[in-house]
Amino acid sequence: MALVHSLEKNGNFLFKYRGQIPVVLFLMAIPAIYFTDYEFLNGNEDSKILLTIVAAIISFSGQVIRAIAIGTSNKHTSGRNTKEQVAEALNTKGIYSTVRHPLYLGNYFMWIGIVVYTFNIWFVLVISLLFWLYYERIMFAEERFLERKFGDSYVKWSMNVPAFWPSFKNYEKTPIPFSMKTIMRREYSGITATILGFVFIDFFRDWFTTGEVQWKVNHGIVVVGALLISLVFRTLKHNTKILFEEDRS
């Protein structure tokens, strides 16, 4: 099999299971936390607070990037499909005029913020490398599909827009207005997973540094709150028309 076909096949396979990345990330975080030396935090509460704020800002930035991309997309574009590549229209304006894969860029910042919260620089580097190897193949397969689907229109656009790191020199305003309903309908699960990720890291770090399982009251409040909010939006999405929009996916 030619390398180009092998990469596309691998990318399509990984595309189907990209939703399992958070589970793998959480499992990898456990030994990373266990072997991290947290002595530098003893008596240095300011450093811990600063690192926590940085981690939260990084994850929040990822959510914002995803929100901009999803909130200005119509129902004919890809993004929610999980089994195979699907797209009836090509996004080329708005955030898509600055970067070809804003959702994957958002995913990286969203999850690397949680990884930063482990306070282990080596874990950050390893996850960044694995993320790139994983998503590079997915992006390759997606772009092969889009090139076959849209031909010269896709090629012309892709030659002027970077794949992953944004460039604003060719920015074009999107004609599609931002929709908060779309964000509430589509992003509640990812936001919940991010919140739970931070609690997960905090729980295991406390456990491994003290040698005792400690379930803090604020952990419970955050987890219950996040799950309740997710349940509310899921109920609104599947059982009412409050979040329904005719021209959005």
Q: Is the pLDDT of residue 7 over 80?
A: no
Name the H helices within 80-216: 102-116, 121-150, 152-158, 180-186, 188-210
Domains of the chain: 3-176 (1.20.120)
CB 36 within 8 A of CB 118: yes
pLDDT of residue 68: 94
Tens digit of each residue's pLDDT (9 = 90 or more) over 71-93? 988 765 655 454 555 556 788 88
Amino acid at site 229: I
pLDDT of residue 45: 84
Which band of pLDDT confidence, cut at 50, 70 and 90, is reported for residue 1? low
Report the pLDDT averaged over residues 43-70: 93
Report the pLDDT averaged over residues 14-21: 76
Report the pLDDT averaged over residues 168-180: 90
Which band of pLDDT confidence, cut at 50, 70 and 90, is reported for residue 23? confident
Q: Classify residue 37 by its DSSP letter.
A: -
pLDDT of residue 81: 53
Tens digit of each residue's pLDDT (9 = 90 or more) over 120-173? 999 999 999 999 988 888 998 888 888 888 888 888 999 999 988 999 998 999
Q: Which residues of 196-205 are buried (b: 16+ CB within 10 A; e: fewer)?
A: bbbbbbbbbb
CB 179 within 8 A of CB 71: yes
Report the pLDDT averaged over residues 201-219: 90
> Is the Cα dihedral 202, 204, 207, 210 positive or negative?
negative
**Residues 31, 14: Cα–Cα separation, whole Å:** 24
pLDDT above 70 covers a percentage of the chain that reads 92
pLDDT of residue 212: 87
More confident residue, 234 or 2: 234
